[in-house]
Structure 1
Amino acid sequence: MQGKDLLQLADQFGTPLYVYDAEKIQSQFNRLIKAFSKVEKLRVNYAMKALSNVSILQLMKDMGAGLDTVSIQEVLLGLHAGFEPERIFYTPNGVSLEEIEEVYALGVQINIDNLSILEQFGTKHPSVPVCIRINPHVMAGGNTNISVGHIDSKFGISIHQLPHLVRIVENTKMNIVGIHMHTGSDILDIEVFLYAAEILFDAAKNFKNLEFLDFGSGFKVPYKKDDIETDIEELGKKLSKRFNAFCTEYGKDLTLIFEPGKFLVSQAGFFLTKVNVVKQTTSTVFAGVDSGFNHLIRPMLYGSQHHIENISNPKGKERFYSVVGYICETDTFANNRRIAEIKEGDILSFHNAGAYCFSMSSNYNSRFKPAEVLWLNGKGHLIRAHEKFEDLLQNQIPLQIEATV
């Protein structure tokens, strides 16, 4: 997409506005498939928590992806988008046995990540195909909030509890069909990923009727010029060779599963905002925009950097700006960032806004959520309308107090 396309969409649909480039999503999907072309059975399950708009799910389905879900609500959205139940993978954390049983009744593949629920479910439903999520105790990821495979993580069954896990499976005679891990997001060193994979292979040897191994995802994408990213091609060569060798050792061709979210949609997303005010202080020039961390929380929550471009004046002389939002507390997108000269009314484009951006938005300060547009075949398609005041009131119930004499 070009800046002129984004400007036209901002004019057509208004700001703040999320825009997703379908072609970039498709190219990332194809890149991953190509990197693992030497694997006989490969499946890509899109981690829909990254971006859960139904139109995006339909796009993923058309490309041949399955779904990785973490809640029954995501499962229902996937079914609504047209996915067959067997194409949906459910990996919750800390949910009740009742929710897991509800999902199982829908025909979806369940993945259990704690011993207590595993034993309860196995006792009641020993014949149901179950996947087990292990915690490999490998520290990976670009931020402690998104590193989920280390020793203190709440996710997965500790690899050190494997004997207990095996005993539960043997006692309940459960039908274990898959082993899963996810070490975290923004993995820089593929050797760390390969090290964790060996732990998964060793765990898999304890189960004789597996159908697949799920390696999670966490592939890092670049957020700025010359930024480091996961070398998918090198990972593809090394892991494919090792996976195929394991299948030979295991005596069966297993399916290799990945569940990328950010890798598929992050770079496809742009967040467009209008500059409300340019404010000069003794040391800082603030560019205040018509949005805030209620729409894009990642910079405030994770300290993440999103490249910001003034698409109204792309060739202007660069100056230093702190880009801030309109939320009534500290609300900073960027500090002292070099950006082409900004004037009130300009449109700023935040890059890498496809993953964990709209999906983490809120109505804080009673602000409306923004619209979403899918750029497909050279045209912008509105896939979510801007919220209105009525939307804020939709589920609120006015208090009825009877008058007293």
Structure 2
Amino acid sequence: MELIDNAYSIQGVKLVDICEQFGTPVYVYNAEKISSQLQRLQNAFSGQRVKIKYAAKALTNLNILKLLKKQGAGLDVVSIQEAYIGMKAGFLPEEILYTPNCVSFDEIKEAVELGLRINIDNISILEQFGATYHDSVPCCVRVNPHILAGGNLKISTGHIDSKFGISILQLRHLQRVIKTYNIKVTGLHMHTGSDILDSEVFLKGAEVIFDLAREFKDLEFIDFGSGFKVAYREGDVTTNIEELGEKLGNAFGDFCKSYGRDIELWFEPGKFLVSESGFLLVKTNVIKTTPATVFVGVDSGMNHLLRPMMYDAYHDIFNVSNPKGTTRVYSIVGYICETDTFGWDRKLNEVKEGDILAIKNAGAYGFSMTSNYNSRFRPAEVLVINGEAKLIRKRENMEDLLKNQVEIDI
């Protein structure tokens, strides 16, 4: 987001103009930022046979998927529905890694029939998979390295109490199942969750997974997941992707030599690729002063951006309509019948009723976690690409709210 001619803009398109054209609340994404983040990651590991699988759960709009496919990314999905959306966006089944959790075996079989790459994260499903397919369908195995990443516990997936992955402490059990059913394992996957602060966490995980990988002779790839930390506020420590590329790339190269052949290095970033590209633009409905606080009430809420309420996530907020105004302190809240606070005690340029506010880092897990709570409509989505703002999802209406309800005689 740039401040040009006293107005916030993306690729020269003023945010206030986007609001006038498409209304509020509205999600806005910067295509250039998404492309540059992907390019940065690809460049950092340019010395390896690297594949980037975008984690679709972060933002599943078809146009975002098409953009990333055009830039050379593959896809990581966690549900059969995400897989269908990915294929509609143009991804081939073999470009899609399917990594579900706690789904029925029927869904696993559907994924096999579609031709997806299957990633299995528990012994029970692996036994069913082996009994059904033996070595006729290869699979990847997701392991839990018991390494705690940074960030909120709800988004850390590698610790010992996590439901994700097969524990490295179950290696012997895992090996017995694979041998018993003659399962062909072509990939190993590790994911510690989001907000990894430095490359040392990846390197510790690499030591674990490299040792494990030597037990498997048919590997085609090792998938390190993601968890790259992005900045949510000024001064935030972020993952040094270039340093990680050098250190992990060298370690992976050494592993391949000891393994006897080169295999592929995979990552599956979501937040890293799309978080900073996105903004949720909202309109100020009311300024409410109490004895303790000045509230800015906006035309959005936890139904449109759940992260602050679910994870206590921090999102920077700017007054788009008055970027040079006197700085005052406000608490920004939503219009939902809950305590849905986007930010407490924030310094904003003076806000008046009708002003447009921009909530940053809304590209990842923003729209994808929206709901119709309080029977509110989901917002529109707009992509700014090649200097033009284009509508990529219409705002919902009453017909959308009611279309799946079935009236009966009461």
TM-score in terms of structure 2 length: 0.97
Match of 1:193 in 2: 202
Q: After TM superposition, give the deviation of residue 262 of structure 1 in Å.
A: 0.2
Q: Which amino acid aligns with 1:109?
A: R
Q: Which amino acid aligns with 2:402?
A: L
Q: Take 1:194 and 1:278, find their aligned partners in 2: how far apart are those partners?
A: 49
1:83-122 alignment runs, 5 A limit? 83-122=91-130
User: Which of 64, 77, 85 is 1:69 aligned to?
Assistant: 77
Q: Does 1:151 align with 2:160?
A: yes
Q: Take 1:355 and 1:204, find their aligned partners in 2: how far apart are those partners?
A: 31
Match of 2:169 in 1: 160
- Structure 1 unmatched runs, 5+: none
Match of 2:378 in 1: 369
Q: Take 1:141 and 1:65, find their aligned partners in 2: how far apart are those partners?
A: 26
Q: After TM superposition, give the deviation of residue 197 of structure 1 in Å.
A: 1.4
Q: Take 1:188 and 1:303, find their aligned partners in 2: how far apart are those partners?
A: 18
Match of 1:232 in 2: 241
Q: After TM superposition, give the deviation of residue 121 of structure 1 in Å.
A: 0.6
User: Which of 210, 217, 236 is 1:208 aligned to?
Assistant: 217
Q: Take 2:42 and 2:233, find their aligned partners in 1: how far apart are those partners?
A: 25
User: Which of 384, 388, 392 is 2:397 aligned to?
Assistant: 388
Any idea what the Cα deviations from partners look like across 1:190-221, whole Å, max 9, x if unmatched?
A: 21221011111111111001000000000000
Q: After TM superposition, give the deviation of residue 141 of structure 1 in Å.
A: 2.9
Q: Does 1:337 align with 2:346?
A: yes
User: Which of 289, 296, 315 is 1:287 aligned to?
Assistant: 296
Any idea what the Cα deviations from partners look like across 1:205-245, whole Å, max 9, x if unmatched?
A: 11001000000000000001111101111100000000000
Give aligned pairs, total: 400
Q: After TM superposition, give the deviation of residue 365 of structure 1 in Å.
A: 0.1
Superposition RMSD in Å: 0.7
Q: Take 1:105 and 1:252, find their aligned partners in 2: how far apart are those partners?
A: 30
Q: Which amino acid aligns with 1:92?
A: P
Match of 1:301 in 2: 310
Percent identity at matched positions? Answer: 61
Match of 2:5 in 1: none
Q: Take 2:90 and 2:382, find their aligned partners in 1: how far apart are those partners?
A: 20
Q: Does 1:47 align with 2:52?
A: no
Any idea what the Cα deviations from partners look like across 1:296-320, whole Å, max 9, x if unmatched?
A: 0100110111100001000111100
User: Which of 25, 34, 58 is 2:66 aligned to?
Assistant: 58
Q: After TM superposition, give the deviation of residue 28 of structure 1 in Å.
A: 0.3
- Structure 2 unmatched runs, 5+: 3-7
SS of the counterpart of 2:258? helix
Q: Take 1:159 and 1:125, find their aligned partners in 2: how far apart are those partners?
A: 24
Any idea what the Cα deviations from partners look like across 1:309-335, whole Å, max 9, x if unmatched?
A: 001000111100000000011110111
Q: Which amino acid aligns with 1:79?
A: M
Q: Would the aligned equivalents of 2:75 and 2:96 in 1 still touch at CA under 8 Å?
A: yes
SS of the counterpart of 1:274? strand
Match of 2:17 in 1: 8
Q: Which amino acid aligns with 1:154?
A: K
Q: Take 1:280 and 1:124, find their aligned partners in 2: how far apart are those partners?
A: 64
User: Which of 247, 262, 269 is 1:253 aligned to?
Assistant: 262
Q: Take 2:269 and 2:336, find their aligned partners in 1: how far apart are those partners?
A: 32
Q: Take 2:58 and 2:150, find their aligned partners in 1: how far apart are those partners?
A: 16
Q: Which amino acid aligns with 1:82?
A: G
Match of 1:131 in 2: 140
Q: After TM superposition, give the deviation of residue 283 of structure 1 in Å.
A: 1.3
Q: Which amino acid aligns with 2:287?
A: V
TM-score in terms of structure 1 length: 0.98
Q: Take 1:184 and 1:329, find their aligned partners in 2: how far apart are those partners?
A: 29
Any idea what the Cα deviations from partners look like across 1:356-405, whole Å, max 9, x if unmatched?
A: 0100000000000000000000000100000000000011001224xxxx
Q: Would the aligned equivalents of 1:141 and 1:183 in 2 still touch at CA under 8 Å?
A: no
Q: Which amino acid aligns with 1:200?
A: I
Moved over 4 A (4+): none
Q: Take 2:27 and 2:400, find their aligned partners in 1: how far apart are those partners?
A: 19
